Amino acid sequence: MTEQGDRFFVLAVSIAARLHDALDDARSISLQAMNAQASIARAGEQSRAMEPIVDYMNGLSLSIIQLVQDVDDEALLISRESLTEFRESVAVERFVDAVRLGQGAKHMDAIEAKVELLRHNLTVIRQGTGKKISVLIGLLSSIETTLLSANIVTSSFRIEVGKLDSEHKVTFESLIGAFNTATQNIRSVVNRCKADLATTRVLATTKR
């Protein structure tokens, strides 16, 4: 495989695998939020203040799930395109060999023109992959922003939980704990994906 095609293919596959875990975590956040909504209903009047916070938390988890799925789709497209790029670059190599071997042959003009056309196609495919990588980076940043909002929400939630009596406090504190763990996991997955992307991009541009 070519340097770029090879690296982007591996990258896309590894991102897709990592996101599988992130998706589990995002789903668990959503589940925590739903549990919190049920607990609020049980706790009655004294936990009313927490209701909008929990709703917001649920909304955040749903948008994280959506973003993770979008990243996954994008990674799949990138892996497909990397394979196309691989096939096309192998073809270019074979045609370049033919031009070298056929130097001076009577009917080489058409083959030389073919090489140029294939080279052009390859450039277009590479540009397409580059654009998809940018979209991927954008999606990862959106996940980060969403996680940041989740942090703020958790802080307000903690303050509200502090006002509750001890029985309900325990339930909600454990929810906050689970929510925090899930967001931390997603954050570290996103960071690892971003680090992989940065390395791959640098290698792809230097090796091209």
Partner 1 sequence: MKATKLFEHYDHEWIVFGRDPEKPTGIIDTNQYMIKARGAAMLLDPGGVELFAPMLAAVAQHVPISSIKHLFASHQDPDIISSLGLWDKTLEGATLYAPWIWEGFIKHFGCEAIVYDPLPDEGRTIRFGDTELEFVPAHYLHSSGNFSVYDKSAKILMSGDIGAALLPDGAPFFVEDFDTHTSAMTMFHQRWMPSNKAKAAWIARVRELDVDYMAPQHGAIFKGEDVVRFLDWFDALEVGIAV
**Cα distance between residue 30 and residue 26, in whole Å:** 6
**Cα distance between residue 154 and residue 100, in whole Å:** 65
- Which of 17, 38, 41, 111 binds partner 1 (CB under 8 A)? It is 111
Nearer to partner 1 by C-beta: 106 or 208? 106
DSSP 164: S
**Cα distance between residue 158 and residue 206, in whole Å:** 48
Q: How far is the CB of 116 from partner 1 (least distance, A)?
A: 13
By the rule CB under 8 A, 101 interacts with partner 1:
yes
**Cα distance between residue 65 and residue 143, in whole Å:** 9
- Which of 95, 157, 172, 179 binds partner 1 (CB under 8 A)? It is 95
The token pair that represents 49 in the structure block: 């203040």
**Cα distance between residue 195 and residue 206, in whole Å:** 17
Nearer to partner 1 by C-beta: 111 or 148? 111
- Which of 102, 138, 162, 177 binds partner 1 (CB under 8 A)? It is 102
Establish how many alpha carbons lie within 13 A of residue 165's alpha carbon, considering only the half-sphere containing its beta carbon. Answer: 5
Task: Mark 114-143 with x for binding to partner 1 (rule: CB under 8 A) and - for no binding.
Answer: x---x-------------------------
By the rule CB under 8 A, 94 interacts with partner 1:
yes
Closest CA to 33 of 50, 16, 18, 55: 55
- Which of 107, 155, 166, 208 binds partner 1 (CB under 8 A)? It is 107
- Which of 24, 97, 170, 199 binds partner 1 (CB under 8 A)? It is 97
Contacts with partner 1, residue ranges (CB under 8 A): 87, 91, 94-95, 97-102, 105-108, 110-111, 114, 118
